[in-house]
Amino acid sequence: MKKNNRITPEGTRDLLFEECLARREVEHQLTAAFRMRGYNEVMTSGLEFYDVFDPESSGIPPEEMYKLTDRRGRLLVMRADSTMPIARLVATRLQNHQLPLRLFYTQPIYRNYPGLAGRLNENAQAGIELMGAAGIRTDLEVLTTAVEALTPCSPDFRLELGHAGFFRELARQLPITEEQREAIRGAIEAKNYAALDTLLDALPQTAAVSGMRRLPRLFGGEEIFSQAATVCPTEKAKATLSYLHKVYHAVQELGLGDRVIVDLGLVQRNDYYTDIIFTAYTEGYGDSILTGGRYDNLLSRFNCPMPAIGFGVNVDALTRIALAKGHFQAPAAAQVLVYSQNGYSIKALSHARTLATQGLRCETSVAETQAEAEAYARTLGIRRLDIVGEKITEVLL
């Protein structure tokens, strides 16, 4: 007996009518912003070899990937992220292309989130990757593109800026194992102060430990930089903070004001990102709607070293926000229903085509009788019935 043939797997959902309209409009707004900035679209395979998503480079736990095998027994995964496949693409088919490469995508990713926690396992994502360029000009271009892409979709978003190097430099001063470092990173990312204190209390109480303890609390505006300066253990940490300060002021000039926030506890997937990192949130959605940063070491994993930066936007989240705000309604009924009398089906189809060229949305009736066609039209709110026979008669309902 089939038990699951009428439901979708956990973490997936079907989209209907206005949901589809909203999704397509969000995608259009995002991709229009990307194209205007000179980015070109690429699409990657929905199936990749597991090696592409090696957890050491992708930061994606193996248990979050959907896995299967090909006929040779090789391990495959469904696309769990778009940046890794695009890095593979750049290292192969685009390896001789003029740099920098400006690429964008809009495609689903698949992640097996434990317990879901409100997240979808199949998630529509759009984003950009700028590969082969480094420096503040590049970072500001990508941040500007993120702002321009989000503004028409969710103008009340908040942008948070951080730097992966700050956590890394503090962690380098601590006598900890890789496992301990990841546990500390996870506690900071979740702003779980109790767990963080427990982990750090077991270490010698040095200046670096004190700085790490304060990291998730370094969250706010201009004042954060003076506070963070007191916990910089090395010249490299000071340089990192200075660079972030420069980016913060530059982004404020985009007119975001107090919607630009510094968060030195922004440390997600720290081995994946190398420098500037950023994320965006908006009212009405509890998770981030955009995540990005610089990942200068990633392309070397594909034997094609070059600097790179990019971001991904949660299209499903923006779609749900637009629907919740009532920006999209169910599609309106057709303007005209075309009914053919016996023997005039081809003439009716030709008439419907003519109406469509005139910009009218119309349906052709499959009813056997005119009465059935009229009842159908009234049910759906179609106000005009064209009866096609020897002549064409318009009936207003």
- How far apart CA 82 and CA 59 sit, in angstroms, is 13
Residues 335 and 356: beta-carbon distance below 8 Å: no
To which residue do tokens 């209390």 refer?
201
- How far apart CA 326 and CA 157 sit, in angstroms, is 18
Q: Which helix (H) or strand (E) holds 59?
A: none
Measured torsion, CA atoms of residues 137, 138, 139, 141, in degrees rounded to the nearest 10: 90
Positions at the binding site for L-histidine: 81-83, 111, 125, 129, 272-273
Residues 377 and 337: beta-carbon distance below 8 Å: yes
Structure tokens at 301: 């994993």
| Residue 342, burial from CB neighbour count under 10 angstroms (0-12, 13-18, 19+) | exposed
- The closest alpha carbon to 251, from 284, 219, 289, 222, belongs to 222
Cis, bond preceding 61 (omega within 30 deg of 0): no
Residues 289 and 318: beta-carbon distance below 8 Å: yes
Phi first, then psi, for residue 115 (nearest 5°) are 70, 0
Residues 309 and 177: beta-carbon distance below 8 Å: no
- Chain-centroid distance of CA 225 in Å reads 29
Structure tokens at 285: 């959605």
How far, CA to CA in Å, does 361 sit from each of 30, 332, 383? Answer: 27, 10, 12
- How far apart CA 374 and CA 319 sit, in angstroms, is 36
Residues 367 and 354: beta-carbon distance below 8 Å: no
Beta-strand relationship, 40-41 and 101-110: parallel
Positions at the binding site: 81-83, 111, 125, 129, 272-273
Give the count of beta carbons closer than 10 Å to the beta carbon of residue 295. Answer: 26
The CA-based diameter of the chain, rounded to the nearest angstrom, is 95
* AA identity, residue 329: Q
